[in-house]
């Protein structure tokens, strides 16, 4: 059932306040819509796609909506008859089309930045070469490494680290089992550590 603009604004307000149930509701309501519009955009451009493409875009779009304290979500005003569903559709189509254009020119796709201030101690326990770096420099370095991770890892780290949500709550929001979420947590941090090491080596 389609929500009214007033219901959408209330849902966004609850998401911005950090209400985990509201975040779960937001993902549950708009995940199918986002998947649908991603697929429609590929079909409209006559471009072949796989399930992994759909999942990657889906996670990217939620990262975009929720990053930086839900800055993008705050921008929805619901004016001139524009519903949250139609607004998310525009964001979805724009994101997919940008990726297709970048692929066409074989450009490297950089994702959205997810701050990981609180994770820096975990990440740098094993990277002694960065001990001399200043705090702000470390954070910039981590953000650059995160941009090279896949959208699923970025979304998980966004929810678990920046918003400080426990793994079971992140699992509900991302619609996966708690066991799979714990596995994703381990693998996300391992991939981020590996990317840190690669960036140091190549830097």
CATH code, 180 = 1.20.140.160
Q: Are residues 152 and 100 in the same domain?
A: no
Least confident of 49-53, 153-157, 199-203: 199-203
**Residue 111 falls inside a structural domain:** no
Question: CA 98, CA 60: separation in Å to the nearest integer?
Answer: 12
Mean pLDDT of 34-40: 90
Q: Are residues 97 and 121 in the same domain?
A: no
The answer to whether residue 89 scores a pLDDT higher than 80 is: yes
Question: CA 142, CA 39: separation in Å to the nearest integer?
Answer: 32
What's the pTM? Answer: 0.60
Q: Where residue 97 sits, what CATH number does that domain have?
A: 1.10.1740.10
Mean pLDDT of 134-162: 78
Least confident of 12-21, 139-148, 149-158: 139-148
Q: Are residues 86 and 12 in the same domain?
A: yes
What pLDDT was estimated at residue 136?
A: 60
Residue pLDDT, tens place only, 13-35? 888 888 888 888 898 889 998 99
Least confident of 6-10, 90-94, 95-99, 104-108: 104-108
Tokens standing for residue 47: 């471009």
Tokens standing for residue 86: 């139609």
The radius of gyration computed from the CA coordinates of the chain, to the nearest angstrom, equals 18
Residue with tokens 């426990």: 166
Q: Give the highest mean pLDDT range of 76-85, 123-132, 161-170.
A: 161-170
Q: Are residues 59 and 96 in the same domain?
A: yes
Contact 92, 34 (CB under 8 A): yes
Give the residue numbers spanning the domain of 163.
117-202
Question: CA 149, CA 192: separation in Å to the nearest integer?
Answer: 7
Tokens standing for residue 200: 């140091």
What pLDDT was estimated at residue 2?
A: 66
> Taking Cα atoms as reference points, which of 135, 161, 103 lies closest to residue 169?
161
What pLDDT was estimated at residue 203?
A: 59
Helix axes 20-44, 5-16, angle to 10 degrees: 120
Contact 154, 146 (CB under 8 A): yes
Give the three-state DSSP class for 191: helix
More confident residue, 80 or 161: 161
Question: CA 126, CA 178: separation in Å to the nearest integer?
Answer: 27
Report the share of the chain in percent with pLDDT over 90: 0
Domain closes at, from 104, 126, 153: 104
Q: Domains in the chain: how many in total?
A: 2
Contacts (Cβ under 8 Å, ≥6 apart) of 193: 123, 126, 127
Residue pLDDT, tens place only, 91-103? 888 888 888 877 6
What pLDDT was estimated at residue 74?
A: 83
Q: Are residues 96 and 123 in the same domain?
A: no
Tokens standing for residue 184: 């994703």
> Taking Cα atoms as reference points, which of 77, 51, 80, 69 lies closest to residue 152?
51
Mean pLDDT of 62-75: 82
Mean pLDDT of 140-169: 82
């Amino acid at each position: 059932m389609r929500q009214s603009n007033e219901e959408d604004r209330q849902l966004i307000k609850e998401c911005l306040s950090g209400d985990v149930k509201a975040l779960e509701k937001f993902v549950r309501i708009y995940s199918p819509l986002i998947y649908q519009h991603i697929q429609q955009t590929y079909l409209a451009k006559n471009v072949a796609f796989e399930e992994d493409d759909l999942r990657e875009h889906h996670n990217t779009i939620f990262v975009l909506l929720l990053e930086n304290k839900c800055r993008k979500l705050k921008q929805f005003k619901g004016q001139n008859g524009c519903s949250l569903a139609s607004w998310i559709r525009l964001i979805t189509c724009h994101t997919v089309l940008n990726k297709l254009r970048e692929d066409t020119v074989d450009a490297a796709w950089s994702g959205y930045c997810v701050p990981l201030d609180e994770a820096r101690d975990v990440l740098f326990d094993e990277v002694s070469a960065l001990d001399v770096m200043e705090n702000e420099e470390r954070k910039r370095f981590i953000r650059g490494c995160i941009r090279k991770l896949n959208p699923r890892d970025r979304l998980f780290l966004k929810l678990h680290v920046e918003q400080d949500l426990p793994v079971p709550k992140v699992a509900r929001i991302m619609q996966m089992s708690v066991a799979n979420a714990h596995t994703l947590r381990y693998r996300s941090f391992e991939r981020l550590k590996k990317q840190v090491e690669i960036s140091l080596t190549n830097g």
